[in-house]
Amino acid sequence: MTLREASARFLEHLQKKKSRGEDPAPAHARTLQLLTSYLPEAAFTELTPARLRDFIARWYVEHTNHQPVPQEFLYSLEAFLSWVDVNEPSKPDQSCHSVIAEVQESLPRALEIGRVLSSHLQARGAFGFPEFLTSFEEGGRSQYDLDVGGSVGALEGFFRVSRIEATAVEAEELISGERVWPVLFPRDVAALLETGYIINLELVRAGDAWQIAACGFAYPPGTEF
């Protein structure tokens, strides 16, 4: 049985419930559409815990505009897997249920981290660094210039949060393993952070610290790239 066939049977089951006056959660159809877009020709047995986690923690974050909202999205996935447990011989690996439970809190928090940080950067604008403005107005060079000798002036990549002290964060770049300290976060973003969260960041050196010049998505702990 393919994943698409299982999804279709589950949606038929929901349609029958609706005809009896029950009102299944409207996010179910959209969630299963996303799942079959992620694994369009897969057999149901190919939905392993690792693939399900990648679908939830990375693909959903990057490709869906976060609709359905995380709580409805995860509820629909759990409802589908639970129905398959009872009604289909090709049962999912029971660890799939554990994956959904694991990200119940971390997925919404990751999206909130990304949203709040992006809002700060948009409000600040491209020339929001005080030192840059001072240097530019005086016709001089900024300490953010990337070709100044002596040390790297900018970094870009996926950074895993490894330590938090107030608004100062130590982050490990995933590919190189380099640890960067301190990265200065807005206070309300730092309050959302916990070790393990991953954020796509562009950093520029500001004296002895690093400022965030731009950001992409934030991801739950344990996300693989």
Per-residue pLDDT of the chain in tens (225 residues, 90 and over written 9): 889 999 999 998 888 876 665 555 678 999 999 999 999 989 888 899 999 999 999 999 999 999 999 999 999 999 999 998 888 776 667 899 999 999 999 999 999 999 999 999 998 764 454 444 333 333 333 344 444 444 568 999 999 999 999 999 999 999 999 999 999 999 999 999 999 999 999 999 989 999 999 999 999 999 998
**Residue 30 maps to a domain:** yes
Give me the domain span that covers residue 15.
Answer: 3-93
d(CA 122, CA 65): 18
Looking at residue 94, its pLDDT comes to 81
Shared domain check, 87 and 163 = no
Looking at residue 43, its pLDDT comes to 87
Q: Could you say which of 50, 75, 93 is where a domain stops?
A: 93
**Residue 114 maps to a domain:** no
Segment 18-61, tens digit of pLDDT: 666 555 567 899 999 999 999 998 988 889 999 999 999 999 99
Shared domain check, 134 and 88 = no
**Residue 78 maps to a domain:** yes
d(CA 82, CA 90): 12
Cα 96–Cα 51–Cα 94 angle in degrees, nearest 5: 15
Residue 97 sits at φ, ψ, to 5 deg, of -65, -35
d(CA 123, CA 113): 16
**Residue 116 maps to a domain:** no
Looking at residue 180, its pLDDT comes to 96
Looking at residue 16, its pLDDT comes to 80
**Total count of domains within the chain:** 2
Shared domain check, 207 and 130 = yes
